[in-house]
Amino acid sequence: MMDHNHVNCETLLGSLSEYIDGELSPELCREIEKHLAGCDNCRVVLNTTKRTIDLVQSPTEAIPVPDDVRERLFKRLNLDDYLKPKSQ
Ligand SMILES: [Zn+2]
C-alpha cells in the first residue's frame, strides 16, 4: 500500500493557514487538494477561512497603492481610448 492518503480532516484543518499562505510543500498541497476534492466539509472551512483572511487583510495592508497613484492610474484607464472615436 502506498501511503498517499494520510491527509485527513484533522491534518488538513491543522495546516490550513500554512496551506493558504503557500507555506506547504507542493507534495502536501497536492494531498490537501486531493482531500478537498472529496470533502465538502473541508472545502467549506477553507473557503470561509480564505474569505475571513481577505476581510482581515484588505483594509490594512493589501492596498499599498497611494490615493495619488491610484488617481493617476484611473486617469490613464479613463476610457478615453474607448470613448474617443478612432477615426479622428
Ligand atoms: Zn475533510
pLDDT 10s digits, 10-26: 999 999 989 998 999 99
C-alpha 82 to ligand 1 mean position (Å): 48
pLDDT of residue 83: 62
C-alpha 5 to ligand 1 mean position (Å): 12
* Residue 22 placed within a domain: yes
C-alpha 55 to ligand 1 mean position (Å): 24
Q: Which three cell numbers stand for residue 51?
A: 474569505
Residue 35 · residue 7 · CB < 8 Å: yes
* Residue 66 placed within a domain: yes
> Cα angle vertex 73, ends 67, 78, to 5°?
120
* Residue 71 placed within a domain: yes
Residue 15 · residue 24 · CB < 8 Å: yes
Which structural domain, as residue segments, surrounds residue 37? Answer: 9-83
C-alpha 62 to ligand 1 mean position (Å): 30
* Residue 1 placed within a domain: no
* Residue 15 placed within a domain: yes
Q: Please give the model's pTM, rounded to 2 decimal places.
A: 0.56
Number of domains in the chain: 1
* Residue 23 placed within a domain: yes
Residues 6+ apart with CB under 8 A from 82: none
C-alpha 46 to ligand 1 mean position (Å): 10
* Residue 70 placed within a domain: yes
